[in-house]
Structure 1
Amino acid sequence: MLKTNLKAGRSFSPFFTGGKTALVQNIGGKEGDFVIASVDKDLNVLNIASGNVDMTVSGTADEVTCFAVKPDGKHLVSATRSLLLSLVDLSDGTVVRSWKAHEAPVLAMAFDKSSTLVATGSADSTIRVWDVDRGYATHLFKGHSGVISALTFFNGKSNNILLASASDDCKVRIWDLKTKKCVSVLDNHVSVVRGVAFSVDGRYLLSGGRDKILNVWEVSSGELIKTIPTYEAMESIGLVSEISRIGLEKKLGLDECSMIAYSGGEKGVIRLWNIDTGDCIATQKSETNSSYEITDVLLRPKSQDIVAVTSDHNFLFYNMLEDLTRTHQIVGYNEEIVDVCFVNPNESSLAVASNSEQIKIMDLESSNCDILYGHSNIVVCLDRSKDGMFLASGSKDHTALIWHHDSESNRFQLAGSCVGHNEAIGALAFSQKSNAFLITGSQDRTIKMWEISSLEKHLKSSKEPLKLKSSYTFQAHEKDINSIAVAPNDKIFATGSQDKTAKIWSTTDGSLVGTLKGHRRGIWSVQFSTVDQVLVTSSGDKTIKLWSMTDYTCVKTLEGHLNSVLKVSFISLGMQMVSCGSDGLVKLWNIKNNECIETFDGHEDKVWALAVKRDESLVVSGGADSKITIWEDCTAAEREEQDRETNEKVEKEQDLMNFLKKKDYKNAIILAMELDKPMRLLTLFKQLDKARLHPASATGLYSVDEVVKGLDKEQLEKLLKYIRDWNTHSKHASIAQLLLHLILNNTPSEDLFKTHRIKELLDSLLVYSERHYVHVDEMLKKSYLISYTLDRMDDLIGGAGDVEMEVSQ
């Protein structure tokens, strides 16, 4: 079945581009775990369980600088660069109230446990406390001499509330909201303090920052009790919950400790600290070749997870009771999508290369994402083996890595590495008949073949990745190699290059078989047909070419893209193709007639990546706009709908014939209108008018009168259109006048004004003979339309009120 249409289904767009984040247990009364993150001017609420954005709080013209969520999850307060604070109802995302807060942007914010008070710390060095429900400021604190960097409340007994603040002046201050005074100034840090936290009983305060130390202070006296060196600049510190603390004591066999702290910073590693002893009791295992820093740390108390928010906009979940092993991850921002491919044996996941060192494995069902760390530079290209068990990735670090799908953990593990190229690897391809070899092409203009048949055997005996050796190496092109494709029989493979040529090579020894010349610019993509001896190429010259593999001549050229065609794939057993390009478009082609069947616009920038599922039910595109769009094949559904509509129409046609045979004029007229058959309808009305079964009836039959009187707005507009057309012919004008008389006598004027056909209808009525005028006059005397229909036709649709006044006078 040839495809006729693709429908844009789900899409994956950025939901976090940096800044403040929060993790809450309920949103607007809805239970669950949610991550709230900012994307430029908007705030997104992401459901961790489903991986979907449940709500977007649309912002104003300025980006969000900070926000805080009430502990009860009902409201959120956000601050923007326009110096406005907004109270947002999280049940529907509407803004309840907005007000100006400070003379400079708000950069720190915190709610107290009662969900009543919110503290805002500004770049103007001041702190304000607000009663958000009542909408007024309760406190103004001045004393810091730098930008406020951290805030936290402690709700004590007898309504005794303390507020701790930190600033760029390297000082921590404790404020008493009851006396409205600063009770302590804690001065021991030598760099910016990035976090402060009260102990559960409020006796101690923990502070830490970029000076690589954790300080423990006694709140009542303001004395420094302990200093713990962490040996890294920290961006986030805090205390784990009591439940987590007790669990860690049991897990690690610790003596009872009063506090366990967490920290994250420049080294990109989560650490847990026993405050009593000053020891690091747990350290997250560093990800391979990772270069990110931790910008924030969030707690998920119910599942004992600690979440690292990274500088490359990912959320990494580590379980505190399982030696800080990574259990879950969420990708907040994909940057530029450069390649995608379906992976896993059942193709339930999507591998994504997104202009970064990591590979994202996205589950298409749940939207959950795994992150593969291994490359030390940007990943440029991807390919998967035919059985979906292996994934290959080529990078600017001059290496290609091969990943194996572990069915037990349902995750990919590093299986082998291909080291030998002198420059970035820009293209690679697996063998098609079996997992026998991998071919890589590089910016060093060479091709290498790697034997991988021993990989599966190696994985059974060792978990260490195998260092593969190349079978042969040769220089293939004069410029960068952009694409490689292996023929279905594994005997030949094709390469496409920026030197404007595609070449065919023998897989046995790498000898040149043929050269394809014809493109005027570099070739971006090559692919073999699975059924014919044909190769397709796409180029920067905006064309797609089909080449015969028997004599290496160009047999077809397809034009239609407005810019470079970056990827092309055969579908429908080689009878169709799908392509994408720098014009941001995805196109569906019929090869037989060189026709572009449909163009799909789902991106706002270049579409670099394109992948087709094996059963061709899904097509995935990814572009420079950081968006991944999943296109669903809706051809079968459309044809079923067309067949259903055709069958219904045939049945209704038969019903109409049966009604006419039975002289059931009422149902025949209803069906004729539904089938949009104006001439059949006119014939019916003429037959009724001639027969006059009910002489006093307007149409000749009372039941038909009732049908005309009871028409809805859409049906009325359709009938008025018919009347207008019939009225232009003298043979049909009498029926038109008759029906119009019936409509105007029985349709309220306000309903007539809602029909956009009424003015043009009356225009056409006034053009004809004197006999028609008489009919019009008689017809309109019973309604107030006559007073201005003949005098002021142009005012018909506008002033019903003026007309009523005129008629009454």
Structure 2
Amino acid sequence: MITGGKSYVSAPPAFSNDAKRLLVCTGYSVSIFSTSTGLQITSLEGHKASVTSVTVVPASSAASKILCFCWTTSLDGTIRYWDFSIPELMKTVDIRLPVYSMVIPSLLGQPLERDAKSGDLFAYVSVENIGVKDGKPVPVRGQILKCNLTKSRLAAGVILAETQQPEYLTISSSGSFFGIRNKRKIHVWKVPIGQSKNLGAKRITLHHTKDLTVLAFHPTQRMVAAGDVTGRILIWRGFGNRTFAVSGEEAGKKSFDSDEDRPGVRGNDDADSCSTRHWHPTEVFALSFSSDGAYLYSGGKEGVLVVWQLDTEKRKYLPRIGSPLLYFTDSPDPLLASVSCADNQIHLLKMPSMEILKSISGIKLPCSFPDVCQGSNNGFAFDQNDGLVALRSENYSIQFYSLFDDCGVCEQVQICERNHQPGEELTVVITSVALSLDGSLMTTAEVRIPEGGIGGFICLKFWDSELENKKFSLSTVVYEPHRDAGISALAFHPNRRMVVSTSYGGDFKMWVCNGGLQKVQGEKSSSWMCHSVGSYKKKSMTAAAFSADGSVLAVAAETVITLWDPEQNILVAVIGETLTPIVNLSFAGDSEFLVSVSQGSKPQLSVWIVSKLSLSWSYKLHIEALACAVDKSSFAVLALIPESVQLQFSDSTFQGRDGMILHFNANDPVPLSTWSVRKAQGGGLAFLRSKKSYISSDEKSGHPWLVCINGDHEYTLFDPSGKEAQELSLTKQGNYHALEETGGKFGYEAIYGELPEFESKMDQTLSAPSVPSQRPWETIFSGSSHELPPLTKLCSSFLESLLERRTVTTE
């Protein structure tokens, strides 16, 4: 089984001491990448929930840079200590509270953070208070606590602060100060002296008029910077000179005689001055001082990294990154840094020129698209041969992602040009994506949203690529392919360069390629043209699929399925009808079964026998995704569990899972296997050809693998018939529930399967007669009388149970 698709930007990354590795929080694990190649080396596995922070133990000398130790925190309530060179788990601290952030002052050159007598190591953690008061969760969920890492316990009675939600902790490079932002305030603590005697910590609060988003400490001076939601950066100098002063007399002073001595400081805040920088048009997310303290790095929604020279206030920029910036991370090597972006990319920068050396690209995270002619495939298209998924991104492009290798395989295909602008509304929506069976061709449908009711149109594009590098180039553009009607589905012919497009306007069109024989600058060029047009009673055409050999085209006309000869464009037959419009069609491999999915108020999964033009069986299920194997009659669906069903069971029954994968053989309504999944809404499903390098010894190479992508674009790839999948399966064949069947087998056979044939031959080897049990017929079947098996199958067993067996002695 292979898992992937995790977010690389859920938390700030951390560099190793030699800056050759980058540690990234990815779901329940920490992935370790090489900074020279950008490829993953290994990972730290063991947490049972999302990892929220990683802290590398810094080297105390040049010789100790080879040491590779780190601390990680997780929402599973544990803090773990690792040797990530092996990798190996060294220690686990269980505080039984979800941990969102942690700082360890003594690791940053603050010797007073260790108890001189006991040598205990202390940390400060930001946790979520999961307590309940009067049967309801406590209103204040965030807490800042102190933890003894050596003794694996929290410091008793020490709560430094309580916030509405858990906040991210930021620490100075010297380890002397740490702080959080809390709405319009900044709380800063000074690490106390003598941990065993004084468990508390002094705190100051700095105020602002807008909500703050991020903060950073200067490496050498008492200076703290913070960004706000309006794009301003505030810099407080000389903070804590009164509260944190060593002299008792100075610490006792609570106010200054004149506010003129503290320009920009609000109220009685403990700071010498406060200045403002403003360039970003929207909120600031990334903020960090350089290691020498001469520069300040900032970034936000506009996707530009700004370098501020503190003394002169001059600025330098790294523009056109293309996505909002979330974190800026310095490394022990002054020539290397990283910037994390909202599009799930981490760019490694050469400093100080800020040249992008490498990019670590994860799968594109889901984003909200306007509901304009939304397709039924949730924006996914799969290359079954190479194990790739093509999915839409927010910047009008298509990303090709390797599901077996968990990485991008080529540059994104830019469907239409777009310069990233903060707060800009999407004007183009990619509604459908389809790939040919060999993955060399792609077609996309896009809708340009009208502005003020003017300028909107629909566009169909055809793309060619080379099989080796998957670099797609635009071949043909068709504007308004179905007049002003939206495109509902796209499907490729399995053997020919032919595509069908269906529309809500009541027609479908067949498109063919000219073969690509012309030469333009030494490269093949091809063009597509309309081959034929079809319609059925002016009904909206909502889905389409070719048979395995391409001889039959199935097109859904709202609630009925029409069968066509794609070559002659002749209507062959009509299969009637469902209760709600059909949104997805697929032939079950090379069999005679056709699978349809209907959504709406009365959702339905239906399996049709094409040769008989009749319904084989169906279920009343809300299907989110459908996938059929290429050369077998099996298929799988991703079904949403109704809320009414979830309410009937306890929380431990589904454990946050809201969907089910049902694996069927098309001729049997009883699932072969089922698996429960989380975040099924907006997910996708597909069968892929297995790669030999990923097949274990107990698995057969001929079996296709099944991939499920959830709504967060996290995926699991496994062999549904393998041993590992069977262990994960919730139900095996003949053991399922909560499915409402509307056709096919019923009664005893639907629940238990077919009865075995009973052998009526008498055992001739018995040396003594057997004694019949008392009232044996009461144990043959327990159930309703109308569900009894046929009498012909029960008769022989029933009569044998009444008769005594005896051996015949031959003299």
TM bucket, shorter chain: 0.5 to 0.7
How far, CA to CA, are the matches of 1:369 and 1:111 in structure 2? 35
Which deviates the most, 491-500 or 554-563? 554-563
* Cross-structure match for 2:111: none
Q: Deviations over 1:171-221 (max 9, x none)?
A: 46463634987697655x432232222334346433222231223444477
Classify the secondary structure of the residue corresponding to 2:286: strand
The within-5 A match list for 1:481-496 is: 481-486=541-546, 493-496=553-556
Relative to structure 1, the CA distance from residue 145 to residue 386 in structure 2 (aligned partners, 3 Å threshold; closer, same or farther) is closer
Residue 98 of structure 1: CA displacement? 1.8
Relative to structure 1, the CA distance from residue 139 to residue 295 in structure 2 (aligned partners, 3 Å threshold; closer, same or farther) is farther
Relative to structure 1, the CA distance from residue 414 to residue 120 in structure 2 (aligned partners, 3 Å threshold; closer, same or farther) is farther
1:263 is aligned, of 299, 303, 310, to 299
* Cross-structure match for 2:107: 114
* Cross-structure match for 2:571: 513
How far, CA to CA, are the matches of 1:493 and 1:98 in structure 2? 60
1:233 is aligned, of 282, 302, 317, to 282
Q: Deviations over 1:725-760 (max 9, x none)?
A: 9999579xxxxxxxxxxxxxxxxxxxxxxxxxxxxx
RMSD: 5.6
Relative to structure 1, the CA distance from residue 211 to residue 478 in structure 2 (aligned partners, 3 Å threshold; closer, same or farther) is same
1:618 is aligned, of 704, 708, 717, to 704
Residue 330 of structure 1: CA displacement? 1.7
How far, CA to CA, are the matches of 1:299 and 1:477 in structure 2? 65
Residue 440 of structure 1: CA displacement? 1.9
* Cross-structure match for 1:210: 229
Find out whether 1:578 has 2:617 as its counterpart: no
* Cross-structure match for 1:163: 178
Find out whether 1:281 has 2:294 as its counterpart: no
Residue 450 of structure 1: CA displacement? 5.1
How far, CA to CA, are the matches of 1:209 and 1:69 in structure 2? 26
The within-5 A match list for 1:744-783 is: none
Relative to structure 1, the CA distance from residue 327 to residue 236 in structure 2 (aligned partners, 3 Å threshold; closer, same or farther) is same
Classify the secondary structure of the residue corresponding to 1:33: strand
How far, CA to CA, are the matches of 2:429 and 2:146 in structure 1? 45
Contact in 1 for aligned 2:588/2:635 (Cα 8 Å): no
Relative to structure 1, the CA distance from residue 124 to residue 440 in structure 2 (aligned partners, 3 Å threshold; closer, same or farther) is closer
TM-score normalised by L of structure 1:
0.56
Contact in 1 for aligned 2:348/2:359 (Cα 8 Å): yes
Structure 2 unaligned spans of 5+: 34-38, 59-68, 83-87, 109-120, 128-139, 195-199, 242-270, 368-375, 417-425, 449-457, 599-603, 641-659, 691-700, 725-762, 770-811
* Cross-structure match for 2:197: none
Q: Deviations over 1:73-121 (max 9, x none)?
A: 44334578xxxx6433455497524278xxxx98764333617443346
Relative to structure 1, the CA distance from residue 473 to residue 410 in structure 2 (aligned partners, 3 Å threshold; closer, same or farther) is closer
Identity of aligned residues (%): 11
Relative to structure 1, the CA distance from residue 726 to residue 119 in structure 2 (aligned partners, 3 Å threshold; closer, same or farther) is farther
* Cross-structure match for 2:79: 87
Classify the secondary structure of the residue corresponding to 2:172: strand
Q: Deviations over 1:4-51 (max 9, x none)?
A: xxxxx4345x75599x52423569x9995332256xxxx443455449
Find out whether 1:23 has 2:3 as its counterpart: no
Relative to structure 1, the CA distance from residue 726 to residue 460 in structure 2 (aligned partners, 3 Å threshold; closer, same or farther) is farther
How far, CA to CA, are the matches of 2:523 and 2:314 in structure 1? 35
How far, CA to CA, are the matches of 1:328 and 1:538 in structure 2? 39
Letter in 2 for 1:209: D
The structure in which a higher percent of residues are helix is 1
Structure 1 unaligned spans of 5+: 1-8, 246-256, 549-553, 638-724, 732-809
* Cross-structure match for 1:388: 439
Residue 477 of structure 1: CA displacement? 6.4
* Cross-structure match for 1:427: 489
Relative to structure 1, the CA distance from residue 432 to residue 325 in structure 2 (aligned partners, 3 Å threshold; closer, same or farther) is farther
* Cross-structure match for 1:547: 610
* Cross-structure match for 2:501: 440
Residue 306 of structure 1: CA displacement? 2.7
Contact in 1 for aligned 2:284/2:298 (Cα 8 Å): no
Residue 419 of structure 1: CA displacement? 4.1
* Cross-structure match for 2:137: none
How far, CA to CA, are the matches of 2:707 and 2:514 in structure 1? 31
How far, CA to CA, are the matches of 2:331 and 2:540 in structure 1? 48
* Cross-structure match for 1:747: none
Contact in 2 for aligned 1:589/1:595 (Cα 8 Å): yes
Contact in 2 for aligned 1:406/1:412 (Cα 8 Å): yes
Residue 536 of structure 1: CA displacement? 3.5
Residue 55 of structure 1: CA displacement? 1.9
Relative to structure 1, the CA distance from residue 112 to residue 408 in structure 2 (aligned partners, 3 Å threshold; closer, same or farther) is farther
Contact in 1 for aligned 2:170/2:216 (Cα 8 Å): yes
How far, CA to CA, are the matches of 1:598 and 1:500 in structure 2? 25
How far, CA to CA, are the matches of 1:601 and 1:276 in structure 2? 64
Find out whether 1:199 has 2:285 as its counterpart: no
Which deviates the most, 478-487 or 561-570? 561-570
Residue 361 of structure 1: CA displacement? 2.5
Q: Deviations over 1:492-516 (max 9, x none)?
A: 74422432222426567xx553342
Relative to structure 1, the CA distance from residue 404 to residue 131 in structure 2 (aligned partners, 3 Å threshold; closer, same or farther) is farther
How far, CA to CA, are the matches of 1:24 and 1:416 in structure 2? 45
Contact in 1 for aligned 2:588/2:634 (Cα 8 Å): no
How far, CA to CA, are the matches of 1:359 and 1:152 in structure 2? 36
* Cross-structure match for 2:674: 601
Q: Deviations over 1:590-646 (max 9, x none)?
A: 7xxx46797132344688633454996524343667664535486999xxxxxxxxx
Residue 484 of structure 1: CA displacement? 2.3
Q: Deviations over 1:356-377 (max 9, x none)?
A: 9775532133211466665857
Find out whether 1:133 has 2:150 as its counterpart: yes
Q: Deviations over 1:420-477 (max 9, x none)?
A: 2545533102345454x543223344434556659897996999x9998867766556
How far, CA to CA, are the matches of 1:178 and 1:142 in structure 2? 16
Contact in 1 for aligned 2:143/2:162 (Cα 8 Å): yes
* Cross-structure match for 2:47: 57
The within-5 A match list for 1:165-184 is: 165-171=180-186, 173=188, 175=190, 177-178=192-193
Contact in 1 for aligned 2:295/2:307 (Cα 8 Å): no
Relative to structure 1, the CA distance from residue 512 to residue 329 in structure 2 (aligned partners, 3 Å threshold; closer, same or farther) is same
Relative to structure 1, the CA distance from residue 616 to residue 298 in structure 2 (aligned partners, 3 Å threshold; closer, same or farther) is farther
Classify the secondary structure of the residue corresponding to 2:230: coil
Relative to structure 1, the CA distance from residue 163 to residue 527 in structure 2 (aligned partners, 3 Å threshold; closer, same or farther) is closer
How far, CA to CA, are the matches of 2:329 and 2:706 in structure 1? 33
The within-5 A match list for 1:613-762 is: 613=689, 617-622=703-708, 628-632=715-719
Contact in 2 for aligned 1:587/1:596 (Cα 8 Å): no
2:340 is aligned, of 281, 294, 308, to 308
Classify the secondary structure of the residue corresponding to 1:114: helix
Contact in 2 for aligned 1:51/1:367 (Cα 8 Å): no
Relative to structure 1, the CA distance from residue 342 to residue 54 in structure 2 (aligned partners, 3 Å threshold; closer, same or farther) is farther
Relative to structure 1, the CA distance from residue 79 to residue 223 in structure 2 (aligned partners, 3 Å threshold; closer, same or farther) is farther
TM-score normalised by L of structure 2:
0.56
Contact in 2 for aligned 1:620/1:628 (Cα 8 Å): no
Find out whether 1:330 has 2:345 as its counterpart: no
Contact in 2 for aligned 1:537/1:568 (Cα 8 Å): no
Contact in 2 for aligned 1:563/1:581 (Cα 8 Å): no
Classify the secondary structure of the residue corresponding to 2:344: strand
Find out whether 1:501 has 2:561 as its counterpart: yes
Classify the secondary structure of the residue corresponding to 1:513: strand
Relative to structure 1, the CA distance from residue 629 to residue 68 in structure 2 (aligned partners, 3 Å threshold; closer, same or farther) is closer
* Cross-structure match for 1:253: none
How far, CA to CA, are the matches of 1:51 and 1:426 in structure 2? 42
